[in-house]
Chain A
Amino acid sequence: MNKILKLSSQELLYHQSKVAYYRNEQSYKCLFLYFHPTLYRFAFNILQDKSVSEEIVSDIMLKVWEMGNKLSQIQYLKIFLITSVKNACFTYLSSKKHQQSLSQSIDNEDIISINGDNPEQLFIYSEVTQRVNKVITSLPTKCQLVFRLIKEEGLSYKEVSKVLEISQNTIETHMRIALRKIRMDLQHFLK
């Protein structure tokens, strides 16, 4: 799990209510910085577009501010935010009438190989990680989202099942498929 600002769930609730009741900008900033990496990566995984992802995250965070007191009624802010980002991304995709469906564009080798524009590029440490990343990118959409939310964002099964509206059994299956694929690829790589 990689957390930028290490906030405990209590601290999160504290900031959440500070924003809800006192319009505290400092707390708002904390929430923004805490959630941004996760939300941005999540949006990027769906959209494969830096600026649109940024825009969507910013819009969602603006809504958080506008919610006012209602914000305090949200029990799990993280799930709420990821779900909002997910919905916004899919709304964007359908409104744009993207002919390429998400899975098509992800299966498309060209897009993966030309990822000079990909912000993930910055984070990749080694050839192996790069390879693993490529395998992940080639996974079917749902499978990929499940895998990334669990491995990269450290969401629990329960959280993932709420966000993506799938059962915990399905999550388990997706994880098995992903891990097996990665393992096969790595073995091939080692030989």
Chain B
Amino acid sequence: MNKQTEQYFFDLLSLKLSGDASESQLAEISRILQANPSLQFLYDQMIEPVYCEKEAISIADQAYASHYVKMQLAGKFESINDNIFEPQVEKSPSFSKRKFALMGIAACVFTVFFINYSLLLDKSVIKQNNNAFVNEIVTKRGSKSSIKLPDGTIVRLNTDSRLTYLNFAAGKTREVTLVGEAYFDVAHDSSRPFIIHTGKINIKVLGTSFNVRNYPQDKESETSLIKGKIEVSLKSRPDDIIILKPSEKLIIAKEQDELIAETKVKSSNDNKVVLTSITYLRHDSLIAETSWLNDKLVFVNQPLEKIAIELERKYAISITFKEEKVKKYRYTGVFENVSLEKVFQLIKYSKNINYKIDDKNIVIE
């Protein structure tokens, strides 16, 4: 085969690859191939696609998932009517079925527990409120509540939380106990301070709005102030008062071992109390801490372990990890009205994770 034929063949092959070749040129190719079998091998190699489509699709999908988050964080995707992830109408009960939710709240509010007070509250409190009832409002996993207390304070209770309070009229203070997470919009009344007892801390307020988070399973309890002024004190150190200013967040590490906790309190470099500013998301007025109020889940560089706990609460499911290292994967993202399945698809896209959904149990491998 001479060089001219070879060159001619190359030109034709290039045209074929580019999709520019005409019918007659394609016929020429097969003619040359028949006459020169040595070119067949090269031809076969060139015609065969280099890339595996399945791989390319999964890479493109992953890329889109992270691109989507980037667009959301940059505030580009704002159209509600045309969400890419086809939001399902699966909202939390308090939003989609308002009437039922309201009935539920009413039922909860009027559920009065005639339990021996000493089981629930400190003796000191009981002495002051001898004849008061204890009201308790409980939200289950997957549902939320909004409550108006007798003094006008509005409390939005996140899922899997419990708020107890005594009859306000009786006391000189308004005191509530919180387990879980809630957003408070406290009605102003300077003569009767509003006090929240939660885990290791007490929060004293006059009138303001803020978010308190103190789930038993969490390692830390958090208090984020949106506006106004609050005083926070640790139960172990009632004399030390920490005053929070707007946009500040107080994180207190809970220690399992009380002894360790006490020695740490005594030591000078106490690392149990952390004061940080509230996490804002770029280009968005949304504050991550209170995003749950708008039915959004926001994670800023959070390990999957923490996200899983959050998802368990929101979707009333249980999540188990098969591998330890998966727990440590970190994610940043916003989930807004997304179905549980979509959440896991997104998690799967950005890291190579497999999961199985079996009704209410999810196993992450």
Min Cβ gap B40→A in Å is 11
Instruction: Say if the beta carbon of B359 comes within 8 Å of chain A.
Output: no
In the bound complex, CA of A96 to CA of B124 (Å): 68
Name B42's contact: one of A41, A172, A179 (CB within 8 Å).
A179
Contact B19 A154 (CB under 8 A): yes
**Contact status of A123 and B63, CB under 8 A, knowing A1-B19, A65-B76, A183-B42:** no
Q: Which residues of B contact A190 (CB under 8 A)?
A: 41
Q: A26-B82, A175-B11 are in contact. Are A182 and B45 (CB under 8 A)?
A: yes
Contact B64 A32 (CB under 8 A): yes
Separation of A48 and B26 alpha carbons in the complex (Å): 35
- CB within 8 A of A152: which of B20, B51, B76, B84? B51
Which A56-72 residues sit within 8 Å CB-CB of chain B? 57-58, 61-62, 65-66
Segment of B53-61, B187-195, B240-248 engaged in the interface with chain A: B53-61
Q: 0/1 per residue, A32-44, Cβ < 8 Å to B?
A: 1100110011000
Which segment, of B67-75, B136-144, B160-168, B306-314, faces chain A? B67-75
B interface: dominant SS: helix
Does the CB pair B82–A57 fall under 8 Å? Answer: no
Point out the residues of chain A lying under 8 angstroms from B110, CB to CB: none
Closest to A182 in B: B42
Of chain B, the residue at the smallest CB distance from A154 is B19
Q: Which residue of A lies closest to B42 (CB)?
A: A183
**CB nearest to A124 among chain B residues:** B50
The answer, yes or no, to whether A24 is at the interface (CB within 8 Å) is yes
Q: Do B76 and A62 touch (CB < 8 A)?
A: yes
Decide yes or no: A150 and B55 within 8 Å by CB, A1-B19, A62-B70 being known contacts: no
Assess whether A176 is in contact with B19, with CB atoms less than 8 Å apart: no
Contacts of B53 in A (CB 8 A): 2, 4
Cα A100 to Cα B13 with chains together (Å): 34
Residue of chain B at shortest CB distance from A176 = B10
Count the B residues whose beta carbon is within 8 Å of the partner chain — how many? 42
How many angstroms from the CA of A40 to the CA of B18 in the assembled complex? 19
A111 within 8 A of B: no
| Interface hits, A150-175 → B, CB 8 Å | 150-152, 154-158, 160, 171-172, 175
Shortest B65–chain A CB gap in Å is 10
Chain B: CB-nearest residue to A152: B50
CB within 8 Å: A-B pair count:
128
Bound CA–CA A157/B66 (angstroms): 34
Contact status B17-A40, CB under 8 Å: no
What is the bound-complex CA distance between A103 and B76, given in angstroms? 38
Report whether B70 and A58 are in contact in the complex, using a CB–CB cutoff of 8 Å. Answer: yes
A contact residues, total (Cβ < 8 Å): 53
The reply on B258 being an interface residue by CB < 8 A is no
- How many angstroms from the CA of A106 to the CA of B56 in the assembled complex? 23
The answer to whether B18 touches A4 (Cβ under 8 A) is no
A16 to chain B, nearest CB (A): 16
Asked whether B57 lies within 8 Å of A25 as measured between CB atoms, the reply is no
Q: Is A133 an interface residue (CB 8 A)?
A: yes
Tell me whether B42 and A66 are in contact (CB under 8 A): no
Which chain A residues lie closer than 8 Å to B5 at the CB level?
none
Write out the residue numbers on chain A whose beta carbons fall within 8 Å of the beta carbon of B6: 180, 183
Q: Is the CB of B60 within 8 A of A4?
A: yes
User: Hey, which chain A residues are within 8 Å of B15, CB to CB?
Assistant: 157
With A37-B51, A129-B50 in contact, do A58 and B63 touch (Cβ < 8 Å)? yes
B60 x A36 contact (CB < 8 A) = yes
Cβ < 8 Å to A, chain B residues 1-54: 6-7, 10-11, 13-15, 17-20, 38-39, 41-42, 45-46, 48-53
**Cβ–Cβ contact B51 & A41, under 8 A:** yes
- CB neighbours (8 Å) of A150 from chain B are 14, 17-18
CA distance A171 to B235 in the complex (A): 78
Q: How far is the CA of A61 from the CA of B66 in the complex (A)?
A: 12
Residues of B within 8 A of A22 (CB): 82
Nearest CB on B from A130, distance (A): 10
Q: Name the residue in B10, B15, B17, B66 with the highest tally of chain A Cβ atoms < 10 Å from its Cβ.
A: B17
B66 neighbours in A (Cβ, 8 Å): 54, 58
Determine the distance from Cα of A183 to Cα of B168 in the docked complex, in whole angstroms: 90
B residues with CB within 8 A of A: 6-7, 10-11, 13-15, 17-20, 38-39, 41-42, 45-46, 48-53, 55-57, 59-61, 63-64, 66-67, 70-71, 74, 76-77, 79, 82-84
Known contacts A1-B49, A150-B17, A179-B46; 12 additional CB pairs below 8 A are: A2-B49, A22-B82, A24-B82, A32-B64, A32-B67, A33-B60, A33-B64, A40-B63, A151-B46, A172-B11, A179-B42, A186-B41
Interface residues of A, Cβ cutoff 8 Å to B: 1-2, 4, 22-26, 28-29, 32-33, 36-37, 40-41, 54, 57-58, 61-62, 65-66, 119-120, 122-125, 128-129, 132-133, 150-152, 154-158, 160, 171-172, 175-176, 179-180, 182-183, 186-187, 190
Q: Give 22 CB contacts A-B under 8 Å.
A: A25-B82, A26-B84, A29-B84, A32-B63, A33-B61, A36-B59, A37-B51, A37-B59, A58-B63, A58-B66, A58-B67, A58-B70, A62-B67, A62-B71, A123-B51, A152-B50, A171-B14, A176-B11, A179-B14, A183-B39, A186-B41, A186-B45
